[in-house]
Amino acid sequence: MTRIKLAAWALSAAIVSTGVAHAQDAKVPEGYPADYQTVIDGSHGENGLVIYSNMADNNWGPILEGFRAAYPWIKVETLDLGSGTVHSRWEAEAGSGSRTADILISGANDRWASYGIDGKMMPYESPELARLPDFAKPYPGVTVLSADPLVITYNAALLPEEQRPTGFASLVEDALADKGTFDGKVTTYDAARNSFGLAAWWNYMKVKGDDGWKQLASIGPMIRGEVSGGPMNEKIATGEYVTGIAVSGITIFPRLEQPGGELLGFAFPDDGTIMMLRGMGIPKGAANPNSAKLFVDYALGNAGQTLIGKGGLTPYRDDVDETQVRYTFQGIAEKVGQDKLIVAGFDKGLIDEAPAFVEKWNAALAGR
């Protein structure tokens, strides 16, 4: 054997040996089927993960650190997109041959309902599902990453304590009593322009019915809709708005701890706190399915749920230590009352009723 061939053979052997060592380093999690080792081994021949989500870097930080420690050979790239953009981008890229998402995560629950019905996601059964509530798997291939509260936010410097809303009903009462303070300075996700807002308000009105619509119409002209939580909170902090209703908690909680956060306050609505189920799925034909399965399982496990909690999302496993995270689904239920939770899931009505709902929504914001 020539020196060149010998060197090449040695290098190849070293690479193979290193791959085997890495595969052996990652053990099959306790309680998982023995053949799960094939998923771990299979991930070594893949090219990392691309995840499209509506989560910011600060939300991702803790869980990515934990996942890298568990599977150090898997490089993860995340793109922070709007809920609707997560899906429109993937749909445009799917089948084009270009590099696209291996995992989708969003609060665009109408899209998840559509994907579940049409079977666009890989029907993967995570071993963690047996340890999760029934709502964790609404459709084959669609699982829930987190259950996040939508809250009321307000500018604590501009609104005296007696005018700080505690719920939608109290906001309506305060706004009608002092139009000069609230007119044009109330914000929320625009259900006509944002999938997240559509899912939130559709579920809210499904529970509140005609009374909810009357309340919305009574202050509709005072509301300016937005499509993203971050800008809402920034505009509340600067005084462009004085309050926001049904604002994603994951956008406000980290903001409270940043410079200027003392200007902001929030409340869990006492007449109905919307809990948004954040969907997650592996598209059929994903380029790196084994790596994607490892991530989904990790995110649904106790360690992963704890870490998403540290990143500002709300874990919903009942074995997550509440002292380690800001909130849990169970803790919020206890705080506001189980009967005051409005769980925004993946109802087919989000698809069928969306056009009529948006028309009614636009009329309500016009005060009709």
Hey, what are 106's tokens? 């969003």
Closest CA to 196 of 33, 87, 76: 87
DSSP character string of 1-16: --HHHHHHHHHHHHHH
Element housing 338 (H / E): none
Q: How far apart are the first and last CA of the chain?
A: 86
Q: Tens-digit pLDDT profile for the chain (368 aa)?
A: 443 333 333 333 343 334 444 444 688 999 999 899 999 999 999 999 999 998 888 899 999 999 999 999 999 999 998 778 999 999 999 878 788 999 999 988 999 999 999 999 999 999 999 999 999 999 999 999 999 999 999 999 999 999 999 999 999 999 999 999 999 999 999 999 988 899 999 999 999 999 999 999 999 999 999 988 888 989 999 999 999 999 999 888 877 777 766 889 999 999 999 999 999 999 999 999 999 999 999 999 999 999 999 998 999 999 999 999 999 999 999 999 999 999 999 999 999 999 999 999 999 999 98
Pairing of β 143-155 and β 264-267: antiparallel
Task: Count CA atoms closer than 13 A to 66's CA, side-chain side.
Answer: 22
Hey, what are 206's tokens? 């499904």
